[in-house]
Structure 1
Amino acid sequence: MTPLINISLGLILVFLHSTTTSCAANDVLRVAQALTVGDKLVSRNGKFTLGFFQPSIVSKSGNIISPNWYVAITMNNTTSAVLSNDGNLVIGSSSNMLWQSFDNPSDVLLPGAKFGWNKLTGFTRQIISKKNLIDPGLGLYHVELGSKGVSLRRRNPSVVYWSWSSKKSTDKFMLISLLKQLININPHTRGRIDIKHVDNNQEEYYTYILLDESYSIYVLLDISGQVEINIWSQLTQSLQKVYAQPADPCTAFGTCGPFTICNGVSRPFCDCMESFSRKSPQDWELDDRTAGCMRNT
């Protein structure tokens, strides 16, 4: 019988049960342990950390509230949650995997994760952009691989704004060839990434691996709807974009919001029309421009 598993992620209004202990900074969350604010799971190689995103919330009275979040796992004694060296959070036992974060990649596709779909079940691993710079909730855009190929689309309303057909085997070969050419042209990625494509009776997916483990390179679906290859810069302690598709950020449907002008060569590339101003300046600062602009009064 499959063990019962219950993952609770929410706001604590009462103290944790006395039998629940805090999780130390290691790579495993075991039975009767809780991961609370300040705790974290750290992969054995020290490259990945799992903790809680905790933005401050301003109440109506103007006071700043810091919510307490926790994750607790109820299961049998053989089950645990492990943060692997590749960044994959795996829940299960040594003989039975119940869930893994690589099947739910959020806005980042890590090296070794699959981007594709299961032909037998129809399950698709979608990459979904986050809402803004501080809110990791579901954003406007997602990219997926299906029976017709790769498509980038706005989620609501559903509008495809970039696609690559894979109906023919030559189409798939051309995409892999193009990606490898782009990687080899750039000195930041040349010789450091290998891209693979698998297509059989059960599944089709793309994946990539790092050939040089001293570098950190990630595929990201940006808030604005671009798929990016980013490399971590030790000099600036930040991710540096080395590739984006579509190349023009204005291609993504509705990326600037209503009553705006989009200029892909400008930074920032969104601006208000003449006689209009930003409807929500705070959201614009967080790269969320969905509210667009409003007429000056």
Structure 2
Amino acid sequence: MRLMISWCSCLVIFCLLQASHRTSGVAYNITPSEPLFPNQTLVSSGNIFELGFFTLSGSENQYIGIRYKNLTPSKIVWVANREQPLPYTDRSAKLTIGSDGNLKLMDGQENIVWSTNVSSRSNYTLAVLLDSGNFVLQDGIYGEIWGSFEDPTDTLLPTMKIGVNVRTGVKKFLISWRSDSDPFPGSFSTGMTSETPPQAFTWNGLTPYWRGGQWDKSKFIGIATMDQSYSSGFTVQQDTQKGTTYYSVNRYDIFLYMFISPGGSLTIMYWDDGARAWLMDWAAPNNTCEIYGTCGPFGVCNSLNSPICRCIDGFVPKSNEEWNSLNWTRGCEREMELNCQKNTSTSTYTNVKKDAFWQMSQMKLPDSGNYISDIGDEEECESWCRSNCSCLAYSYVSTIGCMVWSKDLIDLQEFPTAGEDLFVRVAHVKAGGSRHKAVIISLSTIAGIIFFAVFVFVLCKWRANKTGNFRRLLDSADTPEKSTELTQGNAWQKQLKQDDSLELTLYSFDSILLATNKFSTTSKLGQGGFGSVYKGKLKDGKEVAVKRLSSTSAQGVEEFKNEIILISKLQHRNLVKLVGYCIEGEEKILVYEYLSNKSLDTFLFDSRKKAELDWGKRFQIIQEIARGLLYLHRDSCLRVIHRDLKVSNILLDEKMNPKISDFGLARMFEGTQVLVNTQKIVGTL
């Protein structure tokens, strides 16, 4: 009797616990007598997933669905009534099991909104939510008779399969939501093709949007990140006898899912426990090249190139105008007809040169290929394609076998790594012609280099002759009998005018006085060892810098002439430009281009201005000065050594570009000369 009372007590306690669960809103199964209401959730045994009624933000509809439990944000992975929502005000709706053993979603008026609609041979069925996320309907005799994994929405969970059965015609695809707040079926779907080898696709309606490429028994060829070290557990199962092809995630990391977004992005997410957030592991398409057929037929896409599309060698754009406007969808066409096509109506093909095959490496293989099952190696594959004129390309992948293409090559992509070799048929003359073209280009380049070298040699000789005239001018000016004449300026000025190599303007002293406001202190820019520098404005409005040599200047006639000769002969963006000169009586004046930011020292040694020169700008100035010196030391025919380079002789234009100035102490070398003697005490370089 005591035993009977004890057993009855346990039964009462168990029933009370079950009732407590129901009233508290948590259930672990659904039975004909225990439906699920809007204030309740069905929870998996490990508290990983929960099923219940939900309403999305901004929506007036109510749905029944599955989501991760205790994870924020919680991802909804399955929706039962995505096409027939309930009004969110219907609090009398319920999910129950009908008399026929099917799960049924009933509205408050007892109308059937959604049902599993399967046959059951048992009078009693039970619905439970598994820790895999699969919501299953079981009967007491046959076990599971329906599962939500058989009716996917937009999300693929581990151990779940999507694919196609060609015998039954059943397709299990992921179908996107219409929007983030509306689970109604959208325009994008993801699934597998039944061909051999199978391919993963995303479609926009009936149009391909993204293609993962052929499955090679370990990875999809068209997904470059699936290299040899790939170990995520994604697998494809193809049974040709049953006519089935399925794609699944055989990982028991349950906190991972793949879904197709309303915008067509196929994305893999995983839960990072440290960050307490869902993080993206992979998404496709990831760039324009991954969108199906971006470059059109016979076009190749490479996301690292600019522009990203090019034609296969031996092909040209169908429309140059569209191609140049970056519209590549029409693709490319053959530049030259195949030899085998020219002779298809005759038997003379064996007597002409065979077509050749271009090898393209690291490729995402094109769509619409055919698998040739009875070929054992790459040589046989090539032979088969070569002997069939309809074969436009072939590829032999060791884990797949021989694949050939007889249609337009579409959705080609070139990878920096990974990918496979593709061999494309081209006319023999084109294949040989390209090598011939390379020879022509090489010979033309060599001839061009020789011509340029001869031109530079002649130019240097001509300039050397002109420079020799100036050297004779300098030598004559240094003799005592010429010094008086130079002082007056007449003879030297006359010689300068007669030399047509000087593209300089000879200014009158009066024009200089007018430009500098009679060398007023307000026009003065600075004072140097050889004289003063003034800002001037010529009659044409051009601003110039006027360097007036002092009568007591250490820079003598030789230095003055040096500066005119050198600066007039040297042309470089980092050398100051000489505009003209003036020689009248004792006056020796040089007229330069005006540089608004003056000299570099005004910035470096000014506590306020030096802040304008960050390290990036300073490094740029150093580079520009080095380019100017390289020109003087190596690239100029005159080969000039400045000998007085300092920050006060580096001038800056309005964009802070530096220019080397003050060539009074510079020396010219002969082409092969490496050493000269001087009695002058000078600065650097």
Aligned partner of 1:112 in structure 2 is 159
CA RMSD of aligned residues (A): 3.5
CA apart distance, 1:33: 2.2
Query: C-alpha separation between the residues in 1 aligned to 2:180 and 2:89?
Result: 18
Aligned partner of 2:215 in structure 1 is 172
Which has more helix, going by share of residues?
A: 2
Aligned partner of 2:285 in structure 1 is 246
Q: Give CA-to-partner distance per residue, 1:121-155, whole Å, 9 cap, x none.
A: 12111101112222222122111213243221112
Contact 2:215 2:221 in 1 (8 A): no
* 1:204 equivalenced with 2:245 (yes/no): yes
Aligned partner of 2:266 in structure 1 is 227
Contact 2:43 2:51 in 1 (8 A): yes
Query: C-alpha separation between the residues in 2 aligned to 1:116 and 1:73?
Result: 29
Query: C-alpha separation between the residues in 2 aligned to 1:70 and 1:122?
Result: 33
Q: Give CA-to-partner distance per residue, 1:153-175, whole Å, 9 cap, x none.
A: 112xx32112245xxxxx32167
Contact 1:54 1:67 in 2 (8 A): no
Q: Structure 2 stretches of 5 or more lacking a match? A: 1-21, 62-86, 102-122, 293-685
- Distance change in 2, residues 1:89/1:120 (3 Å): same
Query: C-alpha separation between the residues in 2 aligned to 1:58 and 1:174?
Result: 46
Query: C-alpha separation between the residues in 1 aligned to 2:184 and 2:218?
Result: 30
Aligned partner of 1:135 in structure 2 is 182
TM-score, normalisation: structure 1:
0.62
CA apart distance, 1:80: 1.3
Q: Give CA-to-partner distance per residue, 1:52-77, whole Å, 9 cap, x none.
A: 12236569xxxx96443432220354
CA apart distance, 1:119: 3.0
Aligned-partner residue type, residue 126 of structure 1: F
Query: C-alpha separation between the residues in 2 aligned to 1:248 and 1:235?
Result: 30
Contact 1:27 1:83 in 2 (8 A): yes
Q: Give CA-to-partner distance per residue, 1:152-211, whole Å, 9 cap, x none.
A: 1112xx32112245xxxxx3216726599836899xxx86x3122211121211111225
Aligned partner of 1:8 in structure 2 is none
Report how many residues are paired.
217
Q: Structure 1 stretches of 5 or more lacking a match? A: 1-20, 166-170, 254-297
Q: Give CA-to-partner distance per residue, 1:16-58, whole Å, 9 cap, x none.
A: xxxxx88952331111222221211111111111111223656
Query: C-alpha separation between the residues in 2 aligned to 1:29 and 1:71?
Result: 8
* 1:87 equivalenced with 2:162 (yes/no): no
Contact 1:23 1:34 in 2 (8 A): no
Aligned partner of 2:43 in structure 1 is 42
Query: C-alpha separation between the residues in 1 aligned to 2:125 and 2:234?
Result: 33
Q: Give CA-to-partner distance per residue, 1:213-244, whole Å, 9 cap, x none.
A: 4x611111112101111012335543211101
* 1:71 equivalenced with 2:95 (yes/no): yes
SS of 2:186 mapped into structure 1: strand
Aligned partner of 1:182 in structure 2 is 225
SS of 1:143 mapped into structure 2: strand
Aligned partner of 2:323 in structure 1 is none
SS of 2:219 mapped into structure 1: helix
- Max Rg structure: 2
SS of 1:102 mapped into structure 2: helix
- Distance change in 2, residues 1:179/1:101 (3 Å): farther
Query: C-alpha separation between the residues in 2 aligned to 1:199 and 1:177?
Result: 14
Query: C-alpha separation between the residues in 1 aligned to 2:222 and 2:27?
Result: 37
Moved more, 105-114 or 118-127: 118-127
Q: State how 1:155-166 maps to structure 2 within 5 Å.
A: 155=205, 158-164=206-212
Contact 1:128 1:139 in 2 (8 A): yes
* 1:31 equivalenced with 2:32 (yes/no): yes
SS of 1:124 mapped into structure 2: strand
Query: C-alpha separation between the residues in 2 aligned to 1:217 and 1:196?
Result: 15
Which has more strand, going by share of residues?
A: 1
Contact 2:237 2:246 in 1 (8 A): yes
Query: C-alpha separation between the residues in 1 aligned to 2:261 and 2:135?
Result: 22
- Distance change in 2, residues 1:194/1:234 (3 Å): same
More relative contact order, 1 or 2 (CA 8 Å, 6+ apart): 1
